[in-house]
Structure formats: structure tokens, C-alpha cells
């Protein structure tokens, strides 16, 4: 059997899935170690076919493609992902882009990126923190998470980058601000986070692929969905340096509430940026200079 024939058979087995053809191509590339169109007419070994069949069965069972292949791209990075962490999404890439733009603005005021301190609260796979470190050399990056299993994934991703600048990220176990060393208080230039922002009552409305497979701790914030946002914003004035900035991913319907919370704690120039689909997605708020 060739890879083309095996891919065609997989598409039939994945027929109930909307992106069956896309999944089949990804799985061929994962097992064949080559682009699906290059592998096409090549014969498949028995060992490769057994592995491919096992991966297809996992996908047929509803497991997200990203977990099945065990990795996913995030900006310039190729990250390990599994059920211990959220799957990196385009919306979070856009949040990261906003955070990078804020770092550039701060660097302009500061005269250099050297010495700037960025913190990623609730880092999960390490996606945001590692992307910042990889794309903005000179920035000191800290990343926290309350989940030890999630930090294991972040550490593996950090190790996988070898000698790249993202290996500078410091990973800490603990909840939100409490995980940081006290000597950072009042010195942080940027805090960024993709926190849980789904209300408990909304969890049943999620797609089964999300609710069944992704970590509930990283999804569910509490009864209102605003609990994590509030905890981060309440701590921001004490941890940010004057002029420092908060960049938070939010649900579109939370924009007004998030703006009100930011203003309540004294943060200024609070605004919400849209994602690529035009939905209100990224809260930006600054501590007064």
C-alpha cells in the first residue's frame, strides 16, 4: 500500500469529521516524516502503517489533531502539546502580537529592550513566554502556572528550543502573581496572560473536542468567568512599574466588564483590541507613569 492509498482510506474512516482530509494529510506527514505529496506514491512499511492506524483511531475517537500528533505551531515555534495544556490558537497568537508591540513601545521609551521584564501568568505550554523570548532578545521573561503538569510541558518546550533565546525564560509554579519573587514587585514592564475566562455555566456549551480533552483548569474561571481576569488586574498596580502594561486575552462578551475592572484598580488608557475575526479579544491597560 502507498501513502496516497493509506491517506484515502483514512479520509473515509474520518468521514464524520469536517476536516477529514486535512487531518489525514497531517497524520501522513507525521508518520512518513515527509510532506504528504512527496510521500504519496512511496510504499508504507508495516510498522509505519501500524502507527498511522493507531493515530487515526485516536482521531476517530474525537481526540484533537494537535494532541494526536503531539505538537503544534505557535508563531515561530513548534511546541509540544498534550492533554496537560491548552492547544495554542490563532487568537492567542494575536494577543502575543499585541504584547510584542507593547514591548516595542516600552523599549522606545526606555531606549533599549535590555532590562525590560515581561511576565506570562498561567503560561500552560509556555507558548506566549517562549514566543516573547524568541522574538524579542534582551527581554527578561518569567512564566508561572498553578499546574505542575502544565509546567512540565513548558519546560519540555523550553528544552526543545536548544540554544535559542527562549531558553532564558524562568518557569515558576504557583498561582498568578504569588508565584513571582517579591523583588519583582513594582518592576514588571509587561504582564501578559491567556487566563481561564469561561463561566462555569458556559462549560456545557463548549465543543466536545474542547470540553472532553482540554484541561478544565485552563478553561473554567468560575461562576462569572471573570475571576481570573479580576485576580490578575487586582495585582497589576503593585507589580507593574510606572508605565507598565497589562495585556490579557478575554472573551468578546467580557470587554466592557474587563475595561471596568481595569479602570477600577487605577489602570489607565484601558482599551480592547479586536482579533483577526473582528471580535473584541485583547485587553490592554497601563499603570500611570
Percent of the chain residues topping a pLDDT of 70:
93
pLDDT in tens, 138-156: 899 999 999 999 999 999 9
Are both 145 and 17 inside the same structural domain? Answer: no
pLDDT, residue 17, reads 63
Are both 45 and 96 inside the same structural domain? Answer: no
pLDDT at residue 39 is higher than 70: no
Are both 205 and 253 inside the same structural domain? Answer: yes
User: Is residue 75 in a domain?
Assistant: no
- Among 11, 28, 61, identify where a domain stops: 61
Are both 176 and 143 inside the same structural domain? Answer: yes
pLDDT in tens, 222-277: 999 999 999 999 999 999 999 999 999 999 999 999 999 999 999 989 999 999 99
User: Is residue 270 in a domain?
Assistant: yes
Are both 175 and 249 inside the same structural domain? Answer: yes
User: Is residue 215 in a domain?
Assistant: yes
pLDDT, residue 145, reads 97
User: Is residue 143 in a domain?
Assistant: yes
User: Is residue 68 in a domain?
Assistant: no
**Domain assignment of residue 145, given as a range:** 83-286
Are both 49 and 105 inside the same structural domain? Answer: no
CA 82 to chain centre: 12
CATH number at residue 219: 3.40.50.150
pLDDT at residue 167 is higher than 90: no
pLDDT in tens, 80-134: 999 999 999 999 999 999 999 999 999 886 666 778 999 999 999 999 999 999 9
What number is the average pLDDT over the span 161-166?
A: 68
pLDDT, residue 110, reads 66
Which sign, positive or negative, has the C-alpha torsion 181, 230, 75, 89? positive
User: Is residue 67 in a domain?
Assistant: no
User: Is residue 136 in a domain?
Assistant: yes
Output 164 or 205, whichever has higher pLDDT. Answer: 205
pLDDT in tens, 194-224: 999 999 999 999 988 899 999 999 999 999 9
Q: How far apart are CA 160 and CA 79, in angstroms?
A: 8
Domain count within the chain: 2
Are both 31 and 95 inside the same structural domain? Answer: no
Q: Compute how many other C-beta atoms are within 10 angstroms of the C-beta atom of residue 62.
A: 12
Q: Is 240 exposed, middle or buried (0-12, 13-18, 19+ CB in 10 A)?
A: buried
Are both 116 and 34 inside the same structural domain? Answer: no
Q: What is the 3-state secondary structure (H, E, C) of 119-188?
A: EEECCCCCHHHHHHHHHCCCCEEEEEECCHHHHHHHHHHHHHCCCCHHHHCEEEECCHHHHCCHHHCCCE
Are both 178 and 268 inside the same structural domain? Answer: yes
Binned at pLDDT 50, 70 and 90, residue 186 comes out as very high
Are both 95 and 52 inside the same structural domain? Answer: no
Are both 42 and 156 inside the same structural domain? Answer: no
Are both 122 and 10 inside the same structural domain? Answer: no
User: Is residue 70 in a domain?
Assistant: no
Amino acid at each position: 500500500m502507498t501513502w496516497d492509498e493509506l491517506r484515502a482510506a483514512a479520509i473515509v474512516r474520518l468521514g464524520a469529521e469536517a476536516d477529514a482530509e486535512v487531518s489525514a494529510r497531517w497524520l501522513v506527514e507525521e508518520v512518513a516524516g515527509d510532506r504528504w505529496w512527496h510521500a504519496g506514491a512511496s510504499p508504507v512499511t508495516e510498522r509505519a502503517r501500524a502507527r498511522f492506524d493507531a493515530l487515526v483511531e485516536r482521531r476517530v475517537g474525537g481526540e484533537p489533531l494537535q494532541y494526536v500528533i503531539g505538537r503544534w505551531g505557535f508563531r515561530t515555534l513548534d511546541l509540544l502539546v498534550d492533554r496537560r495544556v491548552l492547544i495554542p490558537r490563532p487568537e492567542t497568537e494575536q494577543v502575543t502580537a499585541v504584547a510584542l508591540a507593547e514591548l516595542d513601545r516600552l523599549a522606545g521609551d526606555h531606549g533599549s529592550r535590555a532590562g525590560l521584564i515581561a511576565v506570562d501568568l498561567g503560561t500552560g505550554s509556555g507558548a506566549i513566554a517562549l514566543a516573547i523570548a524568541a522574538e524579542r532578545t534582551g527581554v527578561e521573561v518569567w512564566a508561572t502556572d498553578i499546574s505542575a503538569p502544565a509546567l512540565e510541558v513548558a519546560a519540555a518546550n523550553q528544552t526543545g528550543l536548544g540554544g535559542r533565546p527562549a531558553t532564558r525564560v524562568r518557569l515558576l509554579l504557583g498561582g498568578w502573581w504569588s508565584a513571582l519573587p517579591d523583588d519583582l514587585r513594582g518592576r514588571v514592564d509587561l504582564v501578559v496572560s491567556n487566563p481561564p475566562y469561561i463561566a462555569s455555566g458556559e462549560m456545557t456549551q463548549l465543543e466536545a473536542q474542547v470540553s472532553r480533552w482540554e484541561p478544565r483548569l485552563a478553561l473554567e474561571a468560575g461562576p462569572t468567568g471573570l475571576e481570573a481576569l479580576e485576580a490578575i488586574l487586582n495585582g497589576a498596580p503593585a507589580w507593574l512599574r510606572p508605565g507598565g502594561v497589562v495585556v490579557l486575552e478575554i472573551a468578546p462578551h467580557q470587554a466592557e466588564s474587563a475595561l471596568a475592572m481595569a479602570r477600577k484598580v487605577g489602570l489607565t488608557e484601558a482599551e480592547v483590541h479586536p482579533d483577526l475575526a473582528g471580535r473584541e479579544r485583547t485587553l490592554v491597560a497601563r499603570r500611570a507613569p
